[in-house]
Amino acid sequence: MEFAIQTSGLYEDVLEAARFSEQHGLPAIALPDHYLMALDEEEAKVTPAPDALIQLAGLARDTTDLELVVLVSPITFRHPAVLVKTAITIDRMSGGRFTLGVGTGWMDREHEVFGLNYPPMSERFSMLEEALAFIRSALADEPVGFSGEHYTLEDFPISPRPIGTVKILIGGSGPLKTPRLAGTYADEFNVYPGDDLAGRIDRAREAASAAGRDPDSLMLSSAGPIVGAATNADLDTRLDGLAREDGTTRHELLKTFERRKARVGTYGQLREHFAEMENLGITRFYIQNGYDADLTPELLDAFTA
């Protein structure tokens, strides 16, 4: 299992995390794509939420080896033509290191604040599937047209072309539609922790086979927050400290972690958990804690020792 950091913030903070990642031989850095970076209304008002794709373009020039991953961009934010042009641009700026993650979007409030169209989930899945077909058509070695209910693309040469292979990532915890779309269109399936993990992976692989693709070519990754410590006593101390920082109780904090599918335990327990994921074929985990100059090195040392 390899580990990467998912982080957000002002560019100088993102760049610090990226430079740490390169110095420590991590394979990638991932940025979430949100216009609000917190669910709590008051916290969202003061938490920076820059444009993730522009930040990744900056990292394309300020890093040399990292894969640059957007995890993930809601189809409600940008037309797929904009995603294609942006992906090709970052691909060329980075020397072929960009992965385009695309999803349905899920945060209601960021759409309300900015007046973005936010149709029901069934329509967003329809938009997502068409967008994926559009993006695949546009990025094909010989671009082909696409016609759907939401989007159309002429059979027209697109210039410039990517210099690498722009990888497509699909992620989520849905039991049926997400695995099917991942198997049909994606290079990487970011299968979020939760119920029926093995079943969701199997359905993605079955969808890949049904689409005439090699299921073994589908990279499996996962993501989530991690809270760990060397011993149970150290873990109790860390949880109490986090609860004080958040102005809440440990009980409420643990309920929040449960909703976010966070992994909480001693480093030994967490290593066992990641071994189970690895046995399912998951080869990369994006740590969603952000970057902490004190805790991130400790976490990575614990998991890669």
pLDDT in tens, the chain (305 residues): 999 999 999 999 999 999 999 999 999 999 999 999 998 899 999 999 999 999 999 999 999 999 999 999 999 999 999 999 999 999 999 999 999 999 999 999 999 999 999 999 999 999 999 999 999 999 998 879 999 999 999 999 999 999 989 999 999 889 999 999 999 999 999 999 888 999 999 999 999 999 999 999 999 999 999 999 999 999 999 999 989 988 888 888 898 888 888 899 999 999 999 999 999 999 999 999 889 888 899 999 998 76
pLDDT value at residue 172:
87
pLDDT value at residue 305:
65
**pLDDT per residue as tens digits for the range 180-196:** 999 999 999 999 988 89
Residue at 239: amino acid letter? L
**pLDDT per residue as tens digits for the range 219-228:** 999 999 999 9
pLDDT value at residue 32:
97
Reduced to 3 states (helix: H, G, I; strand: E, B; else coil), residue 41 is helix
- Give a three-class secondary structure readout of 104-141: CCCCHHHHHHHCCCCCCHHHHHHHHHHHHHHHHHHHCC
At 212, phi and psi to the nearest 5? 80, 25
23 burial via Cβ count (<10 Å: 0-12, 13-18, 19+) = exposed
* Residue among 23, 138, 4 at smallest CA distance from 67: 4
Domains delineated in the chain: 2-226+262-298 (3.20.20.30)
**pLDDT per residue as tens digits for the range 73-116:** 999 999 999 999 999 999 999 999 999 999 999 999 999 999 99
pLDDT value at residue 125:
97
Which stretches within the chain are classed as H helix?
11-23, 41-46, 52-62, 80-94, 108-114, 121-139, 177-185, 197-210, 232-246, 250-259, 267-279, 295-304
For residue 188, what are the contacts with CB-CB under 8 A and spacing of at least 6?
99, 101, 167, 168, 169, 170, 218, 219, 220, 221
pLDDT value at residue 11:
98
pLDDT value at residue 296:
92
Reduced to 3 states (helix: H, G, I; strand: E, B; else coil), residue 75 is coil
**Range 111-115, long-range pairs (CB < 8 A, 24+ positions):** 111/76, 113/35, 113/36, 114/35
pLDDT value at residue 217:
96
Reduced to 3 states (helix: H, G, I; strand: E, B; else coil), residue 186 is coil
CA distance 169 to 32: 13
Structure tokens at 70: 């957007």
Structure tokens at 251: 């009980």
pLDDT value at residue 44:
95
